[in-house]
Structures are given as C-alpha cells and as structure tokens.
Structure 1
Amino acid sequence: MTKNKNLHGLHLSRRAALAAVAVSAAALFAAPAPSFAEDKSIKVGIMAGEEEDIWRVVASEAGKKGLKIETVIFNDYTQPNEALERGEIDANAFQHQPYLDNQIQQHGYHIIRVGYTGVWPIGLYTKKYKSVAEIPKGAVIGVPNDPSNEGRALRVLQSEGLIKLKEGTGILATVADVTDNPKKIEIKELDAGIVGRSIDDLDAGIVNTDWALKSGLSPAERIAQEPITDNPYRNFIAVKDDNKDADWVKTLVSSYQNDTVKAEFDKVYKGTGLSAY
C-alpha cells in the first residue's frame, strides 16, 4: 500500500508540474511583451493643421503597442525644438536635417533624427502668372527667412533661371550669395508661415507645402517645384540625444512607418507630400 501510495503521489506531482508548465507557457505567449513599461506616455510636438490628422492615426497604432502619445501643437517652427530641449516634450516631428543642423549650430541643441516621415517639395506659387517665363522685371518674390528654407528657396529660383548663386554655395545660401539677377527681382524675406498668406501682395512666393495648404494655395497655382529625387529635405521624428536608443523611440518610429499611416498621409496630402521612409 505504501508503495502504491508513493507511486500515486509521484504521478500526481508530475501531472501538477506539467500543468504548471503549460499554464506558464500559455501566460508567456498570451501576455503582450512591449520592451518598455506598459502604457508608457510620451508627448510629441507637431505643427498645427494636417499633421494633427496624421498623428491621430500614429497614436492609434502606438496605442496597440502599449505606447500612449499626446500631441502638443505648435504654430511656429522655432518652438518644437525649444520645447524638446527643455524636456517639455519627448519628441517632435516637423523638420528636415538642414534646419536641425542650423538650429544646433545656433542654439547648441542636443537633438537627433531617429526616423523619417515625409517630404514636402517646396514650390514657387503665384496667383498672377501661368509660368515662370511670365514673371516680369522688378517682380517681388517672397521667400522664407529661416536659413535652411531660404537657401532651399533660392536654389529653386536659380534652377528656374531667375537668379544665379555664387559658385559653391551650399544649401544655406542667402540673398547675399546672389551674383546675377537678370530680371532685377526683389527678393522679400518673410517668415515661412507668412509667405503663402501674403501671396496676393506678391508677384510670387516660395512656399513650403504645409504652409501652402494652410494658406489655401492649390497645386494649380504652383509654377515651379524643387526636385523630389535625392531630396535632402525629408522630415523626420527627432528626440534628445540620450533617448535615441530607448525602446519607446523604436516603437514610436514603427508606429509612424507603416501602411496604415501611409494611407492616411496620402489621403490628407493628396500628392503634395510624399512618404519618405
């Protein structure tokens, strides 16, 4: 009897052990396993307007992975990097590399690119003329006044034969680098957000796509555009240097770079912006 009892007890112990292993395995495969604490919350700075629609979808995708995104809306290009540097937000998504490089040079920011989002080709818009050839002598053309976008705008004017820049001028060209201006165009430097809204008072203006949309400008009013191939002005998600390898950053980037967000991007921008990852 003792022998049978012991054998019976051993049999039950093995069964219990196997059951425990099975339960543990089931729990392992059933439980979500984000690489950071569940329900982590971050703040992401974006520009007001169309990007709000895009980031609602990004936030939804991130939520499925245990990452909660709160968007912080800005109306001025200088604000998102200031807020990120001060720790008021955890990431931002609004700028390209030439702009960030200039901001780091000016302010010493500790900010780094972690994942591309889209590219918005800058264009020459006008409500008065149908082509670049129609632009008259002495025309007033508005350009963005921040260093990276001003250089970008001047390169468009050069590619259309309206001006010529000093040999070897890089992407941070300024009006001082103009060496030839055959039509004696007056280049008016304005805040990037003002150029599009001032188009009625200008002969033409170089406008960033996002500001063109906000200003009610249509592709039909764009008479020239920078090339898209090998464009150095792809926008991206940025974080502080010391967060670049954080698990939540990888989740944030993957929550943007997917087909669901791309579909919303294409719907919102209707071809004026292109996914860039």
Structure 2
Amino acid sequence: MKFLFAVLAALIVMTGCSAPKDDGQTLRVAATAIPHAEILKQAKSLLAKEGVDLQIKVFADYVQPNTQLVEKNIDLNYFQTKPYLDAFNRERGTHLTIITGVHIEPFGAYSHRYKNIDQLPDGARVTLPNDPSNYSRALLLLAKHGLITLKDPGNEMSTLKDITANPKHLKFQELEAAMLPRTLDEVDLALINTNYALAAGLNPTKDALLIESKDSPYVNYLVGRPDNQSDPRVQKLAKVLNSPEIKAFIKQKYRGAVLPAF
C-alpha cells in the first residue's frame, strides 16, 4: 500500500512540474531593456488582438539573445543591427536571419568631464564597445568628426589598425557595451550604444558630444531563424512593429533619441 501511495505521489509531482504545452499562439522574444523591451510591451496588446501571446525575455548583454535563439529557447530576438548580426553569424557559423527593421538608435559619444568635443585634451582616454560591429561604428563616428582618420571611412568593420592619423593621440580601451556608461567618471570620452545610454539616464539628443545623423544605416532588427521566419505569428509581430501605432509611440516616447526605421 505504501508503495502505491509513493507511486501516486511521484506522478502528482511529475505532473505539477511538467512544462505547459505550447498552444501555438505564444511567441517568445528576447530583447534588451531599453528601448527594445519597452517597444515590445507596447506591441503586446496590439499583437493580442491578432491572437498571439507575446512573451518578452529581457537580457542585459548582446550575446545571450542570439545564443538562446540558436538553441531554440526563444523564437525571436530584437536588439541588434545588421553588422552585428553578420559578425555573429560569421564567427559562430550560425544562420540567424532578419525578419524586419524596426528602429534606429543614433550612436553617441559622451563625457562627464567636457561640454564640447573641442575641449577633449591631447592623450584623452576613450572607451569603446568591444564587439566588432559597434567597435567599428564608434571609430567611424570619431572619424566623421575629424578626431581620427581611417584608411577606409566606409568600412563597417574598421579596427584600430585602420587608423592612419590620430592627431589628439587618443588612447582607446575596449569594454563590454553594457559597461560603458559606468566609465564616464573615469575617462574623457565614452562611445555608448543608445539603449545603454538611455538606461543610464543619458539623453542622446542633449548629452551626446557627438551623435550619428538621423540617416544612420544602423537599423535595429527583429531577428529569427530560417525555420521560423515565415511563421504566421512572426509575420504578425513584424507587421505590428511597423504599424502607425508603434511608430507614433517611438516618436513620442524617445523624442529623437530613437527613430522609426521606415
């Protein structure tokens, strides 16, 4: 009798711990907190009207959202530009694919020590993102404003080796992108992705000493896999993220710090 009770108890525990079955209407999307998760939260109610339950998984870094997507722990992610995605696919041998462009975050250079870029001293310490695409993006911004000269100003994968002139003798340090706002009290200039700048309480349109123009080619994309890019749920989310309602939300919420892509 005791054995029978033990078996029944085990069955109850196993049933209680089993994962809920996917009803075919849930869509799991990884995103960084600002602005991506905020935009997805705005899209959630719109997508619910289409019969899709949007579940948002927030990550603090740029690696896990892609890794989790490859491993099929999530269905999509929303945080990256095409150069970053291309570099990830190339380095990892993966085949993640663009679903649709959503917004642009003009990339900026910030300082707690100086109010104007002309005040930047000789030998200034400058921190940059350490991932290949954003690292190059930072160098391109500095080159556009004459702080350095690059061998090919149009090369989206430029590195320090491509610097042909550095008149202010800037000293560069590469760090994980999420760490860059924390360096502002320790360095002269930090090149920071807008999502992390916003999370740190910075206003890109007011606080950035340098910032990309509104025609920046670095669109932030909704990204999936070849096996689910045509999934009706995925296409419904893509349509919602490009809707007039979401475009209006982006314009009103971020006041130029984040712009609709199209």
> Do these two structures clear the TM 0.5 threshold for a shared fold by scoring above it?
yes
Letter in 1 for 2:27: I
Deviation, structure 1 residue 264? 2.3
Match of 1:89 in 2: 74
The more displaced of 84-93 and 264-273 is 264-273
Deviation, structure 1 residue 194? 1.1
Match of 1:165 in 2: 150
* Post-superposition CA distance 1:132-169 (Å, at most 9, x none): 21111010011111000010000111111111112366
- The answer to whether residue 248 in structure 2 is matched with residue 272 in structure 1 is no
Residues of 1 paired with 2:152 and 2:249: CA distance?
42
* Post-superposition CA distance 1:44-103 (Å, at most 9, x none): 111124433221121111110111111111111001110000000001111010000000
The alpha-carbon distance between structure 1 residues 254 and 161, as it changes in their structure 2 partners (threshold 3 A), is: same
Residues of 2 paired with 1:167 and 1:38: CA distance?
51
**8 A Cα contact 1:131 1:223, kept in partner:** yes
**8 A Cα contact 2:141 2:211, kept in partner:** yes
- The answer to whether residue 203 in structure 2 is matched with residue 222 in structure 1 is no
Match of 1:248 in 2: 233
Stretches of structure 2 that go unaligned for 5 or more consecutive residues are 1-21
Residues of 2 paired with 1:244 and 1:268: CA distance?
29
Letter in 2 for 1:208: N
SS at match of 1:124: strand
SS at match of 1:241: coil
Match of 2:48 among 43, 56, 63: 63
* Post-superposition CA distance 1:15-54 (Å, at most 9, x none): xxxxxxxxxxxxxxxxxxxxxx986111011112443322
* Post-superposition CA distance 1:105-137 (Å, at most 9, x none): 001122110111100010111122222211110
Q: How does 1:197-208 map to 2 (within 5 A)?
A: 197-208=182-193
Stretches of structure 1 that go unaligned for 5 or more consecutive residues are 1-36
**8 A Cα contact 2:136 2:158, kept in partner:** yes
Length-normalised TM-score, structure 2:
0.87
Letter in 2 for 1:225: I
Residues of 1 paired with 2:103 and 2:36: CA distance?
11
Q: How does 1:187-202 map to 2 (within 5 A)?
A: 187-202=172-187
**8 A Cα contact 1:169 1:177, kept in partner:** no
**8 A Cα contact 1:39 1:66, kept in partner:** no
The more displaced of 129-138 and 78-87 is 129-138
Match of 1:238 in 2: 223
The structure that has the greater radius of gyration is 1
- The answer to whether residue 26 in structure 2 is matched with residue 53 in structure 1 is no
Match of 2:7 in 1: none
**8 A Cα contact 2:140 2:153, kept in partner:** no
Letter in 2 for 1:131: N
SS at match of 1:46: strand
Match of 2:115 in 1: 130
SS at match of 2:221: strand
Residues of 2 paired with 1:168 and 1:256: CA distance?
32
Q: CA RMSD of the aligned region, Å?
A: 1.7
Residues of 1 paired with 2:240 and 2:143: CA distance?
38
Length-normalised TM-score, structure 1:
0.82
SS at match of 1:242: coil
Residues of 2 paired with 1:216 and 1:168: CA distance?
31
The count of corresponding residues between Structure 1 and Structure 2 is 240
Residues of 2 paired with 1:142 and 1:68: CA distance?
40
Residues of 1 paired with 2:38 and 2:125: CA distance?
35
Deviation, structure 1 residue 196? 1.5
Match of 2:167 in 1: 182
SS at match of 2:230: coil
